[in-house]
Amino acid sequence: MSKLIDYTLHLADTALIISHRNSEWCAHGPILEQDIAITNLSLDQLGQARNFYQYAATLINQDNSSTVSEDSLAYLRGEREFKNLLLTELSNGDWAQTVLRQFFFSVYQYLLYEKLQHSNDEQLSAIAAKALKEITYHIKWSGEWVIRLGDGTAESNHRIQKAIEFLWEYTGEFFIAADYELIDVAQLKEPWLKKVKEIFEEATLELPYPVYMHTGGKQSVHTENLGFILAEMQTLQRTYPGLEW
Protein backbone atom coordinates (compact mmCIF):
# COMPACT_ATOMS: atom_id res chain seq x y z
CA MET A 1 0.00 0.00 0.00
CA SER A 2 2.87 2.38 0.81
CA LYS A 3 4.19 2.09 -2.76
CA LEU A 4 0.77 2.98 -4.21
CA ILE A 5 0.44 5.94 -1.84
CA ASP A 6 3.87 7.29 -2.81
CA TYR A 7 3.10 6.93 -6.49
CA THR A 8 -0.27 8.62 -6.18
CA LEU A 9 1.34 11.50 -4.26
CA HIS A 10 4.03 11.80 -6.94
CA LEU A 11 1.35 12.20 -9.61
CA ALA A 12 -0.62 14.64 -7.46
CA ASP A 13 2.38 16.76 -6.50
CA THR A 14 3.59 17.00 -10.08
CA ALA A 15 0.18 18.14 -11.34
CA LEU A 16 -0.24 20.63 -8.48
CA ILE A 17 3.14 22.30 -8.84
CA ILE A 18 2.94 22.83 -12.59
CA SER A 19 -0.62 24.06 -12.11
CA HIS A 20 0.62 26.64 -9.62
CA ARG A 21 3.45 27.73 -11.89
CA ASN A 22 1.10 28.24 -14.84
CA SER A 23 -1.41 30.07 -12.65
CA GLU A 24 1.26 32.72 -12.05
CA TRP A 25 0.67 33.86 -15.63
CA CYS A 26 -2.94 34.82 -14.86
CA ALA A 27 -3.36 38.50 -15.87
CA HIS A 28 0.23 38.52 -17.18
CA GLY A 29 -0.15 36.60 -20.46
CA PRO A 30 1.12 38.20 -23.68
CA ILE A 31 -2.43 38.64 -25.02
CA LEU A 32 -5.86 38.07 -23.48
CA GLU A 33 -6.58 34.89 -25.45
CA GLN A 34 -3.37 33.20 -24.30
CA ASP A 35 -3.81 34.49 -20.76
CA ILE A 36 -7.12 32.63 -20.66
CA ALA A 37 -5.64 29.57 -22.37
CA ILE A 38 -2.82 29.04 -19.88
CA THR A 39 -5.17 29.69 -16.98
CA ASN A 40 -7.40 26.93 -18.31
CA LEU A 41 -4.40 24.62 -18.53
CA SER A 42 -3.66 25.42 -14.91
CA LEU A 43 -7.23 24.54 -13.93
CA ASP A 44 -7.02 21.23 -15.81
CA GLN A 45 -3.87 20.31 -13.91
CA LEU A 46 -5.38 21.42 -10.62
CA GLY A 47 -8.32 19.10 -11.26
CA GLN A 48 -5.95 16.22 -11.89
CA ALA A 49 -4.08 17.02 -8.69
CA ARG A 50 -7.29 17.05 -6.67
CA ASN A 51 -8.33 13.64 -7.99
CA PHE A 52 -4.98 12.12 -7.06
CA TYR A 53 -4.87 13.80 -3.64
CA GLN A 54 -8.37 12.60 -2.82
CA TYR A 55 -7.39 9.07 -3.73
CA ALA A 56 -4.12 9.31 -1.78
CA ALA A 57 -6.02 10.56 1.28
CA THR A 58 -8.38 7.59 1.07
CA LEU A 59 -5.46 5.16 0.86
CA ILE A 60 -3.60 6.79 3.74
CA ASN A 61 -6.65 6.88 6.00
CA GLN A 62 -7.37 3.21 5.31
CA ASP A 63 -3.76 2.20 5.86
CA ASN A 64 -3.01 4.25 8.98
CA SER A 65 -6.42 4.97 10.48
CA SER A 66 -5.53 8.66 10.18
CA THR A 67 -7.58 11.62 8.97
CA VAL A 68 -5.62 13.35 6.24
CA SER A 69 -7.43 15.17 3.43
CA GLU A 70 -6.63 16.59 0.01
CA ASP A 71 -6.10 19.94 1.74
CA SER A 72 -3.60 18.68 4.29
CA LEU A 73 -1.68 16.74 1.64
CA ALA A 74 -1.38 19.83 -0.57
CA TYR A 75 -0.95 22.51 2.07
CA LEU A 76 0.62 20.96 5.16
CA ARG A 77 3.50 18.89 3.76
CA GLY A 78 7.01 20.30 3.55
CA GLU A 79 9.27 20.39 0.52
CA ARG A 80 11.14 17.23 1.60
CA GLU A 81 7.81 15.40 1.40
CA PHE A 82 6.83 16.52 -2.11
CA LYS A 83 7.65 14.13 -4.96
CA ASN A 84 7.02 16.29 -8.03
CA LEU A 85 9.26 16.30 -11.08
CA LEU A 86 11.94 18.99 -10.91
CA LEU A 87 10.89 20.41 -14.29
CA THR A 88 7.51 21.46 -12.92
CA GLU A 89 8.94 23.65 -10.16
CA LEU A 90 11.35 25.64 -12.31
CA SER A 91 10.73 29.35 -12.71
CA ASN A 92 8.43 30.49 -15.51
CA GLY A 93 11.11 32.60 -17.12
CA ASP A 94 9.76 34.23 -20.25
CA TRP A 95 6.84 33.00 -22.37
CA ALA A 96 9.14 30.76 -24.45
CA GLN A 97 10.40 28.95 -21.36
CA THR A 98 6.90 28.45 -20.01
CA VAL A 99 5.40 27.01 -23.19
CA LEU A 100 8.42 24.77 -23.80
CA ARG A 101 8.25 23.44 -20.25
CA GLN A 102 4.57 22.69 -20.82
CA PHE A 103 5.30 20.96 -24.12
CA PHE A 104 8.05 18.74 -22.70
CA PHE A 105 5.88 17.84 -19.71
CA SER A 106 2.61 17.32 -21.60
CA VAL A 107 4.13 14.91 -24.12
CA TYR A 108 5.58 12.90 -21.25
CA GLN A 109 2.35 13.07 -19.24
CA TYR A 110 0.27 11.89 -22.19
CA LEU A 111 2.50 8.85 -22.75
CA LEU A 112 2.47 8.08 -19.03
CA TYR A 113 -1.29 8.37 -18.64
CA GLU A 114 -1.82 6.34 -21.81
CA LYS A 115 -0.09 3.47 -20.00
CA LEU A 116 -1.66 4.28 -16.65
CA GLN A 117 -5.21 4.04 -17.99
CA HIS A 118 -4.57 0.29 -18.34
CA SER A 119 -3.42 -0.03 -14.72
CA ASN A 120 -4.87 -2.75 -12.52
CA ASP A 121 -5.71 -0.02 -10.04
CA GLU A 122 -9.16 1.12 -11.14
CA GLN A 123 -8.96 4.56 -9.55
CA LEU A 124 -5.62 5.49 -11.12
CA SER A 125 -6.85 4.10 -14.42
CA ALA A 126 -10.02 6.22 -14.31
CA ILE A 127 -8.18 9.45 -13.41
CA ALA A 128 -5.64 8.92 -16.21
CA ALA A 129 -8.29 8.09 -18.82
CA LYS A 130 -10.30 11.20 -17.93
CA ALA A 131 -7.22 13.44 -18.13
CA LEU A 132 -6.03 12.27 -21.56
CA LYS A 133 -8.43 14.52 -23.49
CA GLU A 134 -7.18 17.53 -21.56
CA ILE A 135 -3.55 16.62 -22.11
CA THR A 136 -4.14 16.17 -25.83
CA TYR A 137 -5.11 19.84 -25.99
CA HIS A 138 -2.13 20.81 -23.81
CA ILE A 139 0.23 19.19 -26.34
CA LYS A 140 -1.49 20.88 -29.26
CA TRP A 141 -1.45 24.31 -27.60
CA SER A 142 2.15 24.21 -26.38
CA GLY A 143 3.45 22.51 -29.53
CA GLU A 144 1.95 25.21 -31.73
CA TRP A 145 3.69 27.85 -29.61
CA VAL A 146 7.04 26.07 -29.89
CA ILE A 147 6.65 26.07 -33.68
CA ARG A 148 5.52 29.70 -33.75
CA LEU A 149 8.49 30.85 -31.70
CA GLY A 150 11.09 28.62 -33.31
CA ASP A 151 10.07 29.43 -36.88
CA GLY A 152 9.27 33.08 -36.17
CA THR A 153 11.60 36.01 -35.78
CA ALA A 154 15.28 35.93 -34.89
CA GLU A 155 14.32 37.13 -31.40
CA SER A 156 11.67 34.46 -30.83
CA ASN A 157 13.99 31.73 -32.13
CA HIS A 158 16.74 32.94 -29.78
CA ARG A 159 14.39 32.84 -26.81
CA ILE A 160 13.06 29.34 -27.47
CA GLN A 161 16.58 28.06 -28.13
CA LYS A 162 17.72 29.54 -24.83
CA ALA A 163 14.77 27.82 -23.12
CA ILE A 164 15.78 24.47 -24.66
CA GLU A 165 19.31 24.81 -23.32
CA PHE A 166 17.98 25.47 -19.81
CA LEU A 167 15.11 22.98 -19.61
CA TRP A 168 16.65 20.01 -21.40
CA GLU A 169 18.78 19.12 -18.37
CA TYR A 170 15.59 18.42 -16.40
CA THR A 171 13.89 16.09 -18.89
CA GLY A 172 16.03 13.05 -18.11
CA GLU A 173 14.25 12.59 -14.79
CA PHE A 174 11.09 11.65 -16.68
CA PHE A 175 12.59 8.32 -17.65
CA ILE A 176 14.46 7.34 -14.48
CA ALA A 177 12.10 5.31 -12.34
CA ALA A 178 11.68 5.75 -8.60
CA ASP A 179 11.20 2.56 -6.61
CA TYR A 180 7.50 3.29 -6.12
CA GLU A 181 6.55 3.86 -9.77
CA LEU A 182 4.04 1.46 -11.29
CA ILE A 183 4.88 2.25 -14.93
CA ASP A 184 8.16 1.45 -16.67
CA VAL A 185 8.95 5.05 -17.58
CA ALA A 186 12.14 4.09 -19.43
CA GLN A 187 9.91 2.76 -22.22
CA LEU A 188 8.46 6.24 -22.71
CA LYS A 189 11.73 7.88 -23.72
CA GLU A 190 11.76 6.80 -27.38
CA PRO A 191 8.19 7.91 -28.20
CA TRP A 192 8.76 11.13 -26.23
CA LEU A 193 11.86 11.94 -28.26
CA LYS A 194 10.04 11.10 -31.48
CA LYS A 195 7.29 13.64 -30.75
CA VAL A 196 9.76 16.30 -29.61
CA LYS A 197 11.86 15.84 -32.75
CA GLU A 198 8.73 16.10 -34.92
CA ILE A 199 7.81 19.49 -33.44
CA PHE A 200 11.40 20.73 -33.37
CA GLU A 201 11.87 19.95 -37.06
CA GLU A 202 8.81 22.00 -37.95
CA ALA A 203 10.03 24.76 -35.63
CA THR A 204 13.52 24.71 -37.23
CA LEU A 205 15.02 23.83 -33.84
CA GLU A 206 17.68 21.28 -33.00
CA LEU A 207 17.94 18.90 -30.08
CA PRO A 208 20.83 19.81 -27.77
CA TYR A 209 23.85 17.60 -27.35
CA PRO A 210 23.62 15.05 -24.50
CA VAL A 211 24.11 16.82 -21.20
CA TYR A 212 24.06 16.07 -17.48
CA MET A 213 20.53 15.40 -16.27
CA HIS A 214 19.25 16.69 -12.94
CA THR A 215 17.29 14.23 -10.81
CA GLY A 216 15.93 14.04 -7.28
CA GLY A 217 12.39 15.40 -7.42
CA LYS A 218 10.84 11.95 -7.26
CA GLN A 219 12.90 11.30 -4.11
CA SER A 220 11.89 14.66 -2.55
CA VAL A 221 15.22 16.38 -3.25
CA HIS A 222 14.34 19.67 -4.91
CA THR A 223 15.69 22.91 -6.26
CA GLU A 224 15.35 26.06 -4.18
CA ASN A 225 12.30 26.97 -6.25
CA LEU A 226 9.95 24.56 -4.47
CA GLY A 227 10.44 26.15 -1.06
CA PHE A 228 9.35 29.53 -2.41
CA ILE A 229 6.34 27.98 -4.19
CA LEU A 230 5.14 26.23 -1.04
CA ALA A 231 5.71 29.32 1.11
CA GLU A 232 3.35 31.24 -1.15
CA MET A 233 0.87 28.46 -1.83
CA GLN A 234 0.52 27.25 1.76
CA THR A 235 0.43 30.60 3.58
CA LEU A 236 -3.36 30.81 3.93
CA GLN A 237 -3.80 27.25 5.22
CA ARG A 238 -0.94 27.55 7.70
CA THR A 239 -2.15 30.97 8.91
CA TYR A 240 -5.78 29.87 9.25
CA PRO A 241 -5.70 26.10 9.95
CA GLY A 242 -8.72 24.07 8.96
CA LEU A 243 -9.71 25.94 5.82
CA GLU A 244 -11.07 23.70 3.08
CA TRP A 245 -10.10 23.82 -0.59
Q: Is it the case that residue 237 has pLDDT exceeding 90?
A: no
| pLDDT 10s digits, 133-177 | 999 999 999 999 999 999 999 999 999 999 999 999 999 999 999
> In degrees to the nearest 10, what's the CA dihedral of 33, 37, 42, 44?
140
| pLDDT 10s digits, 187-210 | 999 999 999 999 999 999 989 887
Q: Is it the case that residue 27 has pLDDT exceeding 80?
A: no
Which is nearest to 133 in space by CA: 108, 114, 160, 154?
A: 114
Which is nearest to 218 in space by CA: 186, 187, 174?
A: 174
Average pLDDT in the chain:
93
Mind giving me the DSSP string for 51-108? HHHHHHHHHHHHHH-----HHHHHHS--TTT----HHHHS---SHHHHHHHHHHHHHH
CATH fold of 2-239, please?
Ferritin (1.20.1260)
pTM for this prediction: 0.95
Domain boundaries, the chain: 2-239
